[in-house]
Structure formats: structure tokens, C-alpha cells
Amino acid sequence: MQSPDNALEMLQIAADAADSKGGEDLVALNVSGPLPLVDIFLLVTGNSERNVAAIADEIEDQLHEAGHRRVRREGRAEARWVLLDFGDLIVHVFHSEERVYYGLERLWKDCPVVPIELTMKVAGE
């Protein structure tokens, strides 16, 4: 990874944000080998278009609050596959059908998995 501390910090924020909105099956892949301008892909599944949009919005809000700038966003209007590009981290929030159809885990199977430890938040924090 080019800037592992920054990418891992963003991954943690994004994963916790996704989890807080019901994101499922979170998988992080170190894609820095084949993609020299990106360190990590985070894949997340939502169970409806509304859930996909809520997950994407929360990730974007939390990363922005932490001082990370979004480079681009695609797919928000349809909310079937939302791509959020934060430079070192690219987040893919999928509807479950799109996740299976496009199979990014299969396409990037040679890339190492980055462990994710979700931070459990206590109500009222």
C-alpha cells in the first residue's frame, strides 16, 4: 500500500459507517499491486435501494467529517451500485443482486484481504 495509515484509517471509518446503517458482508481488498493509484477496495451489500443509498451517504458523511475529500461518486441516483472514490480508498456499495452479478471478489481474487474490525458503538456515544 502506498499510504497504509491513511487508507487503513479511511477503511475503519467507512466500515463502521456502513455497519451503522446495516451494511452486510463487508470485504476489504488490498488492490495496490494491480492498481497503483488505489490502496483498498471496500465492498458492502445493502438489502434495498434505500439501504444502499443510506449506507453510501453515511460513509461519505463520516469520511468527510474526518477530513477526507471525495474525488468522485457514481450510481447514487439508482442506488443499485454506488461507487465512492476517496483516492486511497474506493467503496463499492451494492444491492445484493448487483454484488452477485458483478462478482468483484471473483475479479480481484488474487488481491489480499484486509482484515476489518468493526467498532461497536454504544447508544448515546
Q: Give the residue extent of every domain in the chain.
A: 4-114
User: Which CATH number applies to 4-114?
Assistant: 3.30.460.10
Give, for all 125 residues of the chain, the pLDDT tens digit: 455 688 999 999 999 999 999 999 999 999 998 988 899 999 999 999 999 999 999 999 999 999 999 999 999 999 999 999 999 999 999 999 999 999 999 999 999 999 999 986 544 44
CA gap 69, 60 in Å, rounded: 9
- Looking at residue 13, what is its pLDDT? 97
Spell out the SS3 assignment of 38-82: CCEEEEEEECCHHHHHHHHHHHHHHHHHCCCCCCEEECCCCCCEE
